[in-house]
Chain A
Amino acid sequence: MSRIGTIARRTFLVGSVAVVGGAAFGVYAARKPHPNPLQTGEGEAAITPYVRIDGGGVTLITPRADSGQGVYHVQAALIAEELDVDLDAIAIDPGPPAPAYWNTALGAEAAEFMVPAQGAMHNATEGVVTAAMKLMGLQITGGSTSVPDGFDKLRAAGASARETLKSAAAARSGVDVTLLETESGHVILPDGSRIAYPDLAPELAETPVVQDVPLRAPEDWRYIGKPMQRLDIVAKSTGTQTYGIDVEVEGMVHATVLLNPAQGGDLGDWDAAEALTMRGVTDIVPITGGLGIVADNTWRAFKAARAISAEWGAPDFPAEQEGHWAALEAAFTEEARDSRKRDDGDVEAALAEGEVIEAEYRAPYLAHAPLEPLSAIVRVNADSAEVWTGTQIPRFLQNNVARIAGIDAENVIVNAQMMGGSFGHRLEDEVVKHAAEIAVQMPGVPVKLTYSREEDMIHDYPRAIAMGRIRGRVSEGRVQALDLSIAQPSVMSSQMGRQGLSAPGPDSQIVAGAFEQPFALPHQRVTGYRATGLAPVSSWRSVGASSNGFFYNCALDELIHAAAADPLEERLRLVSDPLARAALEAVGEMSGWSGPTPEAGLGRGVALTRSFGVHCAQVVEVRDTEAGLRIARVWVAAEVGRIVDPVNFENLVQGGVIWGLGHAMNSEITYSGGVAQPDNFHDHAGMRIWQAPEIEVRGLENGDAVRGIGEPPVPPAAPALAGAIFAATGTRLREMPFNRSVTFA
């Protein structure tokens, strides 16, 4: 039986029958589609890479990972929209890592990130990036791309599967296919009799796949745009959802790690004699940068880890936080210049005369810290391996486990698990590599590695630290010129480097959220500087825009204030994109905007950021109370082209706003003695319920392109809060987190 057959069989299989494989559809951006990975053993018909039908029922393959955004549900709904199945009557399966599931939307976005907007470099570099993605078959979940990537592709897969089922029913019944209808998982014959899809599995083996089926018009949609009950909502409300950390495999042992507290440093001499005498502890083995501790219970492994003494090598970045800021300050040089993707008018000339407004802004490192600590189960046998984990990068980790185990990547089975959050954390696979390094030392034994919260947090690859310097000028009550310089480490080269890939050309994330903003100032320039020698970093919800959206909007606010203009009105005067204008007008209307200080003790701030193709505008209202500042209300408008599920949409937008506000209020990672601080939620918790404002959300559907909403609500939250605090208190906050300078209630 094939490897994938094994997965399918274990998960669903009941019946017996045949294979229809190799079907692919004219919807991939790639010229030559990858083969259908669902080439199964007997008993199943894999009509497309996304629909499998067997005697037991209909299974929809939802390859984008679900870290909490309802991505499995949305993917299933998109297929079901055309397939005519009821969402409560199908099974879903994340499917195997396979090139057919590569993320074409991320390919385009990543290319956009990595190249300058114009010039000869553009095409050449885009070619390199796209080829690399194609080569790796990048089955990545990230960049808010699951919906854009799947919106046409998954509906087309559903439509094709539906028409193929009708064609199989026509062959069986002898009725002309044009007389057949479909409904609720059945083909309906003219006489009203019904054939359930699974009953057609035998015929499907003989039926050519019907391709290029026209998609239904929006007015005929049954699911898209309507409130739906998320497929995972009952399990997640009853404690019955199994996450990666809950998985148990026959014969499994529990493990944890003790890593060099300084990220990336070596393991020196170590002494585990005492730990080895502790109850339940069976093995302590060296791995890269630390030790694996194996026991018969997670807590026993944690406890033993604390009883080990070890010497550790130094990290290859500054041990103290001041050194990190100094490295950013030192990066504003011609040699370190990475990009200048925006250069309108003549900034130098405009700033040569009159008063120049200058300021420096800072954004700290931040941990991802999803509530579920990282874990992975890995079993390594002589020539195969199996992995159970929640991941956004199944293809990468498949290769990494294969390398560690010395086997072929196609012999590594990956069982993708539901994730208790990610925010970009699971775009890394260190935990899987550590589990594999332990597992190769115990052949045949499934090793379940669970990080303690402390290991998870201090060994996170955090959000990049960043510094923004602004210079600007106003005259006649208007903003005239802005020169924004940003220094950051390159998240792309750090992250891709860990996978053995290079990220050629400038890193757009250094300036994302600033260079492409929809405001037409007469003179405007955005320059990115690549800081080096800093801590390794990773993508954190909304990536570069999480800091740069703050710098850019605060720069506008400083200039607008100097011009004695209104923050919303001046933005509306400067805005250059009709979709962005509509978002700004919407929050103005929703909040009943009447200036930044509608009454004493109340302050309002406004921000708009374009990120991941989404224009998201926010107004934040802050009340200055005796106990401190209280965020009372937030109004959000986001342009996403098409809202697939309005309930889930609202939840995600509210969550994104809370994420952006909470971290801006109270969270940062700093380094001391080479070690990231803090290591748990006593600090860096983000927002708590008593701090959560009322958040009113409006989704806008004016644009043509379909966009994801996981990340875009984050960047405007911090600057809108800073604007509100300035309006309420007169204090201009230029450094996150804000609780360095103000007190929150």
Chain B
Amino acid sequence: MKLTVNGTSHEVDVEEDMPLLWVLRDELGYKGVKYGCGIAQCGACTVHLDGVATRSCQIPAGSAEGAEVLTIEGLGQPDALHALQAAWIEHQVAQCGYCQSGQIMQAADLLSQVADPTDQDIDDAMGGNLCRCGTYPRIRAAIRSAAQAMKEV
């Protein structure tokens, strides 16, 4: 089947029911997408599917065919940061960092819908993204500053 990831199209030979997460990680090498729970409880595997934040552990590969998949690698790179990534660096959000790809992808979805989110908006949007290290205060602050920075552009 054919999958489009970060604008590149890939031909993959996998079962229809293999979760997109494992196609991305094991078959295509997009290791920025993380496995945390496999049951939609942690958000570490969050990618965008046609612009919408989605738990890739819950999406059978077959149903991602034809969609545009965006991973953290496609959102921005160390030398071409997305505003959220820049804010994540400025606030030094990460501890272990393992949840942060998913956090950033979820936050990008939020900012695409709400340019100036309130704390309540942030808490509502980010509630499914678990951070076992407890970086929540910094996640809130980084989202607020990214929203600010994006407005100023």
Contact = CB atoms under 8 A, between A and B. Distances in A.
Interface of A: 67-70, 229-230, 232-243, 245-246, 248, 254, 279, 297-300, 302, 369-373, 419-423, 450, 452-453, 647-648, 651-652, 654-659, 662, 680-682, 685-690, 692, 694-695
A423 B127 CA distance: 22
A656 B136 CA distance: 12
Interface string B119-153: 00011101101111111111110000000000000
A453 B95 contact: no
Interface string B71-82: 111001110010
Most chain B CB atoms below 10 A, which of A69, A230, A238, A662 = A238
A681 B72 contact: no
Interface residues of B, number: 60
Contact of B89 (A234, A297, A658): A234
B96 to A, nearest CB: 3
B71 to A, nearest CB: 7
B131 to A, nearest CB: 7
Interface in B60-78: 71-73, 76-78
A655 B95 contact: yes
B97 A68 contact: yes
Contacts of B25: 298
Contact of B37 (A297, A453, A692): A453
Contact of A686 (B44, B94, B132): B132
B11 interface: no
17 contacts: A68-B94, A68-B96, A232-B94, A234-B78, A236-B100, A238-B32, A238-B73, A279-B15, A297-B18, A297-B22, A299-B18, A300-B18, A453-B38, A659-B134, A681-B41, A681-B130, A686-B134
B14 to A, nearest CB: 8
Interface string B99-111: 1110010000000
Contacts of B22: 297-299
Nearest to B136: A692
A688 B137 contact: no
A234 B19 CA distance: 28
Given A238-B76, A238-B81, A372-B36, A680 B134 contact: no
- Give the top 4 A-B pairs by smallest Cβ distance, nearest first: A239-B32, A68-B96, A420-B98, A236-B97
Contacts of A688: 127, 130
Contact of B95 (A70, A279, A662): A70
A690 B98 CA distance: 20
B95 A69 contact: yes
Given A229-B89, A237-B104, A371-B44, A423 B39 contact: no
Contacts of B97: 68, 232, 235-237, 241, 420
B54 interface: no
Nearest to A453: B37
B96 A421 contact: yes
A78 B140 CA distance: 30
Contacts, number: 185
Contact of A243 (B29, B73, B98): B98
Interface of B: 14-15, 18-19, 21-22, 25-27, 29, 31-39, 41-42, 44, 71-73, 76-78, 81, 85, 88-89, 92-101, 104, 122-124, 126-127, 129-140
Overall SS of chain B's interface: loop
A239 B29 CA distance: 12
A420 B94 contact: no
Nearest to B76: A238
Given A246-B31, A453-B37, A68 B95 contact: yes
B94 A421 contact: no
A690 B92 contact: no
A489 to B, nearest CB: 24
Given A239-B73, A299-B22, A688-B127, A648 B92 contact: yes
A295 to B, nearest CB: 10
B10 to A, nearest CB: 15
Most chain B CB atoms below 10 A, which of A232, A246, A420 = A420
A237 B88 contact: yes
Contacts of B44: 371
A729 to B, nearest CB: 23
Nearest to A240: B78
A657 B135 CA distance: 11
B78 A238 contact: yes
A418 to B, nearest CB: 8
B98 A297 contact: no
Contacts of B77: 238, 240
A370 B37 CA distance: 11
A425 to B, nearest CB: 10
Contacts of B96: 67-68, 236, 370-372, 419-422
A652 B93 CA distance: 11
A662 B31 contact: no
B73 A230 contact: no
Nearest to B38: A453
Given A234-B89, A300-B18, A695-B137, 6 more contacts: A236-B96, A236-B100, A654-B138, A680-B41, A689-B123, A690-B123
